[in-house]
Amino acid sequence: MYFKSGILQAFLLGGVTFASRVPDISERTIDSSARAWASAAEKANRFISQLSLTEKAQMVTGNSSAGYCIGNSVSPVAAIPRLGFTGLCTQDGPTALNRADLISIFPSGVTAAASWDEELIYARANALASEFRDKGVQILLGPSAGAIGRHTLGGRNWEGFSPDPYLTGRSMDATVRGIQDAGVQAVSKHFIGNEQETQRSSTISEDGSVTEAVSANIDDRTLHELYLWPFADAVKAGTAALMCSYNRVNQTYSCENDHLLNTILKGELGFKGYVMSDFFAVHSGVKAATGGLDMNMPGSIDAATIADGTSFFGGNLTSAVNNGSLPIARLDDMIRRVMTPYFALKQDQDFPTQDPSTFAVLARFYAAQIPITEVPARDVRRNHADVIRRLGAAGTVLLKNINSTLPLGSPKTIGVFGNDAADLSAGLSNALKDDPAGTALGTLDVGGGSGSGTHTTIISPLDAIKARAQKIGARVSYILDNTVLAANDLHSIYPTPEVCLVFLKTYASEGYDRTSFEADWNSTLVVENVAARCPNTVVITHSAGINTMPWASNPNVKAILAAHLPGEQTGNSIVDVLWGDVNPSGKLPYTIPVNETDCNIPIVNLTSNAGPNEWQANYTEGQFIDYRAFDAKNVTPLYEFGFGLSYTTFDLGKSISTKNLFKNPSAAPDPHTAIAIGGHPDLWVDMIKASIQVSNSGKVAGATVVQLYMSPPAAVPVGAPVRSLRGFRKVYLKPGQKRNVDFLLKRRDLSFWDVASQQWILPQGDITLQIGLSSRDLRAKTTIRVL
């Protein structure tokens, strides 16, 4: 969502068409784990029975003109006082409670994924959601599994987790559970194929002609095995809602795509919650409603119609029911889907009121020319700085460490270089910056757009380094201007510091895609010039995306840390790692290439003269993105997926023990078993247990991530990856300690999607399992058969 006046426009397109019947949640088989959901659905039915037709239409239509909710002008579902319903408040985003005061900025999704720590990912989500609840917000617009990261330069990759569907799926599961255990609804987004920001929405030219949004043209198998996979995990975890995306998928807009929303999401995956549109992503009324859309946000057609409330839903749905083009049963089902999570999460019971200070925050942000009454903000941060700091350190990946340069001991002189080391110099937040490189001076702890937030506090790297230097009696000198550094003007630094810390940053934001693989602000010159002066240089990157590192082989660059976007405790978390208070345990959730030409999926970017339907993104690469593409082409990366060093060393056993947990399975799931939440229940049955021993062979305590990869047998149709991640365990060990690590492989993990039968099928033949400490550091191997 990118809610800024004048940026987005939506348009009336085409007439009404009838879609296939929407699966009604009341008809779904409820398994024992969803009894609370069934009880909530009954409450929703009683609520629906008391609504007038006008109120029913209101319940599925955002109402921005009714007043501002917390943050980003995100529209509420208006209250119905006579029924004791106080309305629903939605809010961005995945990393912070957007446009509100006295809140926390949490580590980004890519940082969370780099930790490979499901407990910390859960803790992040739970703490973030508690801030939403304490501000009176029922609905958190996150987490994000789209963009998954098809494009290395995608502007919103940082909001999500990883280009690997398994790692993203596990992260979605932990995040949805963390959010909803705090009593807040999770909205998993953006469904689906929202892989580039460029032309993600339709646009209109000065002559009034419309250019349609880019169409993500994805074959059925790739859709299921890659892009849909993490959404299935979110549905299985019980996500209250999914947000449909701006783009088209196979020529049809996502928010009116009957096949995606009805056949796959609500049918195949058994999704019982509601589908919310991304903001101004709706292009029709009845067509969208019958196509599977349950809630139109923010209600109005575009930014220009917020004031008068003109909507594809609202009164148009009332008319559609009256003229018979929309069955009342479908409208009731839309409301049931919206209200069931509300009751299931007990949001009707003592939910906090909305913080009244937020309207002033919004007015300041948008420079509203209206009288503003400032109200003290409600401080919701609690002790969240602790989890932010811990996850920021856990998501930091040690890429290079020559001669054990790190951890630092007690150097007497320390040099700090680069504009990323400094305090933020301007602005309420990193959101909605016009400069593609963000703020010139100031550390980067979060990306831009609706997923960002307003800093209450931030601990910069320079401040944290100064604080540590004071404790050890060290002298800190610094140059923060990258222009000066790029010009090789380092004369003010004397003598040469014992260690030089270079901080680089790469900004990315909703609304546009990155244009360069290298870090921003003359980063290569900055590193080369500092390293030429300082033979003990350490480079730290804060990046919203994958970078090439042409300076990585420089012999004076002794260590490299990829710190991603660690949130407001950025300085403290990096100091914890630099000085060894925390032993780095992060692993790359993506692949770092040697050259940008190794990443060969370009963002579709046509000229302004392109025809109205020419924006076509053909996913001809299939599943071969990130490490899967490198493996298929046998290209050596600079640093592979799953890679990360430690201040200690770990060993793995030479053999993998396996146990078959399910005897004589059929090739396909049982056709007589009803679909449950998350899809066919058979897909979630444990079939194989694989075990290996891991030991800490070093001298300090630390953690590693043991990773299991699966290679399919030859019988699997062409198009399968060489290997796919199918399990990981983060293990903390003291020096000399050993532990057995177990992996449970489910039917889905071992299956492939068969397009002809529209089923997940177990393959015949030998399935290869490999376990290691990265996708290319595989130390043990075995084969199994399930059929």
What are residue 91's phi and psi, to 5 degrees? -160, 135
**Count of residues in the chain:** 787
Catalytic residue among 278, 355, 445, 513: 278
pLDDT of res. 2: 40
pLDDT-based confidence at residue 27 (cuts at 50, 70, 90): very low
pLDDT tens digits for range 204-244: 888 888 999 999 999 999 999 999 999 999 999 999 999 99
pLDDT at 62 over 90: no
Report yes or no: 103 and 97 within 8 Å, Cβ to Cβ.
Answer: yes
Could you confirm whether 278 is annotated as catalytic?
yes
**Cβ atoms < 10 Å from Cβ of 609:** 8
pLDDT at 319 over 80: yes
pLDDT of res. 77: 80
Amino acid identity, residue 251?
Q
CB burial string 401-427: b at 16+ within 10 A, e below: beeeebbbeeeebbbbbbbbbbebeee
Q: Kindly list the structural domains of the chain, giving each domain's residue range(s) and its CATH number in brackets, ordered by start.
A: 25-365 (3.20.20.300), 396-582 (3.40.50.1700), 648-784 (2.60.40.10)
Find the mean pLDDT for residues 752-766: 97
pLDDT of res. 436: 57
Find the mean pLDDT for residues 663-682: 96
pTM of the model: 0.94
pLDDT-based confidence at residue 521 (cuts at 50, 70, 90): very high
Longest Cα–Cα distance in the chain: 83
pLDDT of res. 75: 57
Alpha-carbon gap, residue 705 to 435, rounded angstroms:
37
Of 68-82, 160-174, 446-460, 608-622, which one has max mean pLDDT? 160-174
| Mean pLDDT over the full length of the chain | 91
- N- to C-terminal Cα separation, the chain: 46
Question: Residue 470 belongs to what H/E stretch?
Answer: helix 461-472
pLDDT at 427 over 50: no
pLDDT-based confidence at residue 64 (cuts at 50, 70, 90): low
Report yes or no: 524 and 551 within 8 Å, Cβ to Cβ.
Answer: yes
Residue 336 exposed, middle or buried by CB count within 10 Å (0-12, 13-18, 19+): buried
pLDDT of res. 563: 99
What are residue 691's phi and psi, to 5 degrees? -135, 150
Collapsed DSSP state (helix, strand, coil) of residue 231 = helix
Least-confidence region, from 159-163, 446-450, 576-580? 446-450
For the chain, what percent of residues have pLDDT higher than 70? 90
pLDDT tens digits for range 451-491: 888 899 999 999 999 999 999 999 999 999 999 999 999 99
Radius of gyration of the chain (CA): 26
Find the mean pLDDT for residues 730-744: 99
User: Which tops the pLDDT comparison, 641 or 32?
Assistant: 641
pLDDT at 787 over 80: yes
pLDDT at 74 over 60: no
pLDDT at 435 over 60: no
pLDDT-based confidence at residue 359 (cuts at 50, 70, 90): confident
What are residue 540's phi and psi, to 5 degrees? -120, 125
Least-confidence region, from 292-306, 601-615, 769-783? 292-306
pLDDT of res. 425: 64
pLDDT tens digits for range 237-278: 999 999 999 999 999 999 999 999 999 999 999 999 999 999
pLDDT of res. 307: 66
* Cα–Cα distances in angstroms (integers) from residue 249 to residues 192, 195, 227, in the given order: 7, 11, 12
